[in-house]
Chain A
Amino acid sequence: MRPFDYARAGNVAEAGQMAGRFIAGGTNLLDLMKLEVETPDKLVDITRLPLRGIEETDDGGLRIGALVSNADLAADPRIRRDYEVLSRALLAGASGQLRNKATTGGNLLQRTRCSYFYEPSQPCNKREPGSGCGAIGGFNRIHAVLGTSDKCIATHPSDMAVAMRALDAVVETQKVDGSTRAIALGEFYRLPGDTPEIENVLEQGELITAVRLPKPFAGQHRYRKVRDRASYAFALVSVAAVVRMDGGKIAEARLAFGGLAHMPWRDETVEKALIGQEPAMANFDKAADILLAEAKGQGENDFKIPLARRTLKAVLADATKGA
């Protein structure tokens, strides 16, 4: 690990002005610093900031402080009752130990698990712009099938963010100059394009202070994660769903996908195609056709395309059964 300066942020206003890399749970940043994939000159420890609360908002939603741990968030009675898909997604991620340390802000900003990104001797446009992409034509079993570019085919590994995307979460931040903004999660992440090193719209020194959830969405909440072992493994494909039925037909469907793209993937045309439909496999197949129309395998990850279809159909069948 490279040497670094270390300072603690005493309040939210000064954190961004301390001109260093924020460290929260450290479970992703330190992992990458040990490998010298990340080499910050200075760490700003934000763990003493008062951002550990979960409070109710005026419009009936919740504001989750950026430092709320993944474990505390999953266990919060309001999240379990009204946003079950989020609790489920969190509990499907990492391990008990990691969830106790991992924070809401850090989870959103965790970096890809692409093995070339993790190995400084290998080419990787995300780690070292212009060096090439080792995964294209290489080992790419865990890589993306949607929204890729010829520069990068990495996926975003978070489970939490997939559920938050289905729930229309909004990220609240504070910039270095003290101004604040609210960014819909749907506008927060970027596709790799020509600049895979830029993963989101945050500016230098911009601190995530909270994630806001809107009023709860009624319906069946599901999070289905398909992975290589039953626990403590990243998703190959995951589906977050909130589905509401009315009179035997689908009235509302919110669907977000993990493991498929550089960001939690959501395609509202898939959701629209389901509205007013009966819960029949043929209709679920049509939705999958829309979702996967542009999907492109890279060789080792070709299996993700049929796997995403089957997982989506299984989730929809489960969420609509008995209605």
Chain B
Amino acid sequence: MKRNRRAKRSMKLKINGVEHELDIDMRTSLLDACRDHLGLTGSKKGCDHGQCGACTMLVNGRRINSCLTLAVMHEGDEITTIEGIGEPGNLHPMQEAFLHHDGFQCGYCTPGQIVSAVGMLGEVADGWPSHASADVKAGAALSGDEIRERMSGNLCRCSAYPNIVDAIETASAKMKENA
């Protein structure tokens, strides 16, 4: 085997507004960098293949699957994990709404659902259409069908879907009020 690749690399990551310097294996995903090296274990690993959404983070405000990207590719980006969305004592309206509506059972998918929902509302605010939109040329109002389609990248093994949709509707209204 001619493979003699330099395994580690130092990198700077800005997560939830804090700069971190890491010296880690080049192969480390953004998800593993946060969970295994920075103690940010809120983001979960469901599949590690982009198929469940449990690992959802925001990068420069947009939601992505952190399992399917390398940490080293995100130097210079603004990364937000569930810990950066809100914490006990200072919850985000989306987190409060999930509590209020019981938008979970086991809770494993929940951090990903919440981060994804926050990212999703940003997309709606920017006027992005979805597969559920009757007219792609016009923007779409946030209906139950729109929420279900736009959140389809987040699976819930406990099938808490009805309460998740309710929570997102409540949070969306609350966030508009606050804005």
Instruction: Please report A residues at the B interface, Cβ cutoff 8 Å.
Output: 1-6, 23, 25-27, 30-31, 34, 41, 45, 47, 71, 74-75, 80-81, 84, 87-88, 91-92, 94-98, 100-101, 230-232
CA distance A2 to B26 in the complex (A): 10
Q: Could you say which residues of chain A place their CB within 8 Å of the CB of B123? A: 71, 75, 96
CB proximity to A under 8 Å, residues B18-52? 26-27, 29, 48-50
> Is B68 in contact with A75, judged by CB distance below 8 angstroms?
no
Q: Mark B115-149, 1 if CB is under 8 A from A, else 0.
A: 01001100100111111010011000000000011
Contact call B128/A30, Cβ cutoff below 8 A:
no
Question: What does the 1/0 interface line of B72-113 toward A look like (CB < 8 Å)?
Answer: 110000000000000000000000000000000000000000
Given contacts A97-B63, A97-B116, contact A88 B50 (CB under 8 A): no
Tell me which residues across on chain A come within 8 A of B119, comparing CB atoms: 96-97, 100
State whether A96 touches B116 (Cβ < 8 A): yes
Q: How far is the CB of A118 from chain B (nearest CB, A)?
A: 10
Interface residues of B in 134-173 (CB under 8 A from A): 136-137, 148-154
**A80 proximity list for chain B (CB < 8 A):** 129, 136-137
Given A31-B49, A96-B150, A87 and B136 contact (CB-CB distance below 8 Å): yes
- Give the distance in Å from the alpha carbon of A288 to the alpha carbon of B115 in the complex: 45
Per DSSP, chain B at the interface is loop
Which residues of B come within 8 Å of A, CB atoms? 3, 5-7, 9, 26-27, 29, 48-50, 53, 56, 62-65, 68-70, 72-73, 116, 119-120, 123, 126-131, 133, 136-137, 148-154
A81 touches B129 (CB 8 A): no
Q: Which residues of the partner chain B approach A34 to less than 8 Å between Cβ atoms?
A: 48-49
Contact with B27, one of A4, A25, A95 (Cβ below 8 angstroms): A4
B5, A4: Cβ atoms under 8 Å?
A: yes
Instruction: Name 25 A/B residue pairs within 8 A (Cβ), A-sorted.
Output: A3-B7, A4-B26, A26-B68, A26-B73, A27-B68, A31-B49, A34-B48, A34-B49, A41-B5, A75-B126, A75-B128, A84-B136, A88-B136, A91-B129, A91-B130, A91-B136, A94-B153, A95-B154, A96-B152, A96-B153, A97-B64, A97-B65, A98-B153, A100-B63, A101-B69
**Residue of B with least CB distance to A48:** B76
Beyond A31-B68, A96-B151, 4 extra complex contacts between A and B, CB < 8 Å: A4-B26, A26-B69, A27-B50, A230-B152
B149 CB contact (under 8 Å) in A4, A6, A97, A231: A231
Bound CA–CA A71/B72 (angstroms): 23
Q: In the complex, A279 Cα to B130 Cα: how many Å?
A: 29
Question: When the two chains form their complex, are residues A74 and B129 in contact, meaning their CB atoms are under 8 A apart?
Answer: yes
CA distance A121 to B135 in the complex (A): 46
Q: Enumerate chain B residues within 8 angstroms of A25, measured Cβ to Cβ.
A: 69
Cβ contacts under 8 Å, B136 to chain A: 74, 80, 84, 87-88, 91
Contacting B129 at CB < 8 Å: which of A23, A31, A75, A97? A75
Task: Specify which chain A residues have a CB less than 8 angstroms from the CB of B151 in the assembled complex.
Answer: 96
Query: How many angstroms from the CA of A13 to the CA of B153 in the assembled complex?
Result: 36
Contact B129 A6 (CB under 8 A): no
Task: Quote the shortest CB–CB distance from B8 to chain A (angstroms).
Answer: 10
